[in-house]
Amino acid sequence: MIKGDWPLVAGRRCAELNSGGAMADLLKTFEVFFVKLNTAIAACVALSIGMFTLLVPLDFVLRKLRMGGLEWLNEGAEYFLFFGVFLSATWVLQQGAHVRVDIIISNLPARAAAWLERVMDLMGAALCGIMAYLGTRSTVSAYILGTLPDKDLRLPNWVVLTVFAVSFVLLTIEFLLRYFRAGRHGYVAEASAGF
């Protein structure tokens, strides 16, 4: 993170945030918590991937030895991959490990690049907010209807949709935090971030 002045809000310096007031302290504390939360989620996703790399060969050996098998494994892996991809997306965004095409930003002056970065962060927050809203509506609908998938491992659809909605809430928050970071005095938009 960049130290120093805090964000520009609607083109003006927000005195309370820049002066290190209570609002700035609250935002900094929240950001630290949010980074730790997403790191913990990413660690859980990594552990689940590791678990499945052990369970798949175990299932194969059990089947070859005619000792049964882990019947739930394929569908369980589908669920965990879905959960992992969506829940770890915020961590990937925090790390700058997402795909970026910065042809425009890399050719702009620093101030214009930072402005464009903030516009893109607001657009990302808006899009993710819309997806979170739609995901929440679908979750409530699936819960009320009690829908279940046509699978052997029948996890209610509302559980899967909850993960979808929560992941987009987390992404919305991260885009807003990126917006505030990009507004700090001395911020430089990096064209080298991402893949």
**Each residue of 107-129: pLDDT tens digit?**
888 888 888 889 999 999 999 99
Q: Is residue 117 part of a domain?
A: yes
Q: Is residue 96 part of a domain?
A: yes
**8, β-bridge pairs:** 13
Which among 189, 11, 27 is positioned nearest to 102, based on CA atoms?
A: 189
Q: Is residue 193 part of a domain?
A: no
Query: Residue 13 forms beta bridges with which residues?
Result: 8
What mean pLDDT comes out for the span 83-95? Answer: 94
H-helix or E-strand containing 13? strand 12-13
Question: Tens digits of per-residue pLDDT, 6-27?
Answer: 343 333 334 444 456 788 788 8
pLDDT attached to residue 152 = 83
Q: Which residue shows structure tokens 């095409």?
A: 101
The three-class DSSP label of residue 64 is: helix
Q: What pLDDT is recorded for position 107?
A: 85
Binned at pLDDT 50, 70 and 90, residue 62 comes out as: very high
Here the contacts of 49-58 (C-beta below 8 Å, separation 24 or greater) are 49/80, 49/84, 52/76, 52/77, 52/80
Look at 47 and 151; give whichever has higher pLDDT. 47
In a domain, 32, yes or no: yes
- Mean pLDDT check: name the lowest of 7-21, 41-55, 132-146, 159-173: 7-21
How many independent structural domains does the chain possess? 1
Query: What does the pLDDT read at residue 154?
Result: 87
In a domain, 190, yes or no: no
State how far Cα 173 lies from the chain centre: 9
Domain for residue 6, yes or no?
no
Max intra-chain CA distance, the chain? 71
* Beta carbons of 38 and 191 less than 8 angstroms apart: no
Q: What is the mean pLDDT of residues 79-100?
A: 90
Average pLDDT, the chain: 84
**Range(s) of the domain holding residue 27:** 13-182
Q: How far apart are CA 92 and CA 195, in angstroms?
A: 11
DSSP state of 8: E
Mean per-residue pLDDT for 128-138? 98
Predicted confidence (pLDDT) at residue 4 exceeds the cutoff of 70: no
Name the CA dihedral angle for 175, 177, 183, 186, rounded to a multiple of 10 degrees. Answer: -110
pLDDT at 174: 96
Report if residue 150 sits inside a domain. Answer: yes
Q: Has residue 187 been placed in a domain?
A: no
